[in-house]
Amino acid sequence: MKTLSSKKLAETVKNLRESKGYTKEELGNLTNINRIMIGRIEREDFIPSIVQLEALSNVLGFDLTEMFVEKENEDSFVALRSESLSDSEKEGVEKLFAMMLSLRQQIKLRRSFENEKNHAK
């Protein structure tokens, strides 16, 4: 699956804007994107809409499809199987599961106690 790379977009916009000699305000006027938003795009702090992406692409002359990269699968199942984890990471995962189970037991006990307390009244 491909996803928009905010890093690639930020670098492209900044490099092309500067190479064409545009200020952020000038680029903003040409694209109808506020100069503050141009700055945020260049700092990877804002993802523009499709209309804004097209405007930037048209004015700066870059291929919009090149801003998309293949997204790596972040499969939590791999972490749960403990593959490719160091010993300390495996230990951390085991501690986390132990804490989660302990918390779950505490919640069940508390609910049970509250139910008994309510029925006694």
pLDDT tens figures, 76-110:
444 444 456 677 777 777 777 778 778 878 888 88
Residue type, 12: T
Ranked by mean pLDDT, the top range of 40-44, 46-50, 96-100 is 40-44
How far is residue 94 CA from its own chain's centroid?
26
Ramachandran angles phi, psi of 82, nearest 5°: 65, 25
**Lowest mean pLDDT across 18-22, 32-36, 38-42, 68-72:** 68-72
The Cα diameter of the chain in Å comes to 79
Look at the pTM and tell me if it is higher than 0.75: no
C-alpha distances in Å from residue 33, one per residue of 19, 58, 79: 19, 13, 42
Encoded tokens for 28: 């903003």
pLDDT tens figures, 56-67:
999 999 998 899
